[in-house]
Amino acid sequence: MDGPRQRILEATYACVARWGLSKTTVEDAAREAGLSRATVYRYFPGGRDELIDAVVSWQFLAFFGRLYEEVHGATSLEEVLDRGLLFARRSLIEHEVLQKMLEIEPDVLMPKLTVESNRTVGLIAGFLVPYLHEHGMAEGVEIHEAADFLARMILSYISSPGHWDLGDPEQVAALVRTELLAGVVGEVGPARP
């Protein structure tokens, strides 16, 4: 996606990184992009709120694009979850702008992330369904309910891992096998070496 819309998103993101969500204005984004305010409003007629929502969505989609690349080619459900959790937690911790916003403006950022995560549950669940079909379900477990459960649990653990160290592959493997997949699928495969 090139052109003025992309320039506006990138410029707004730069402003958010510099000043935060609540202090970034349409004027700031226009100036940073080297465009007029009218041009920004042409692409984002809802103004500042639409612009900020678009930037959050853009970054959210970029993250899940990178996550998909990370798990693409995995040969089992366990491997998808292992790779995905390791990558997602690392990315969340290393994302400087997100960490800054969580520190200085959690009350502004969290509602926007919640809206995006609600949309994302369906995407993650849909991605997992073929792996669940291939793996086989525990008796009495419906595949779409299992996919929804796993998607919600994955998002929960990414944002708040509790006592699990999601930077440690052995702990991630244990989490996947003992808490995420136990009772959901048939036989759970061994942890990756």
The confidence band for 190, taking pLDDT boundaries of 50, 70 and 90, is low
Tell me if 67 is assigned to some domain. no
Tell me if 190 is assigned to some domain. no
162/60: higher pLDDT: 162
Q: Would you state the pLDDT for residue 159? A: 78
Q: Give the structural domain span for 51.
A: 1-55
38-61 pLDDT, tens digit each: 999 999 999 999 998 899 888 888
The confidence band for 193, taking pLDDT boundaries of 50, 70 and 90, is very low
**What does the H/E/C string look like for 130-180?**
HHHHHHCECCCCCHHHHHHHHHHHHHHHHHCCCCCCCCCHHHHHHHHHHHH
- Residue 31: pLDDT above 90? yes
Rounded mean pLDDT, 92-99? 81
110-159 pLDDT, tens digit each: 676 666 677 788 888 988 999 898 888 888 899 999 999 999 898 888 87
- The total domain count for the chain is 2
CA-CA distance, 152 to 125, in Å (whole number)? Answer: 9
Tell me if 128 is assigned to some domain. yes
Tell me if 63 is assigned to some domain. no
Element (H, E) at 82: helix 77-94
CATH label of the domain that carries residue 29: 1.10.10.60
Q: What is the pTM of this model?
A: 0.76
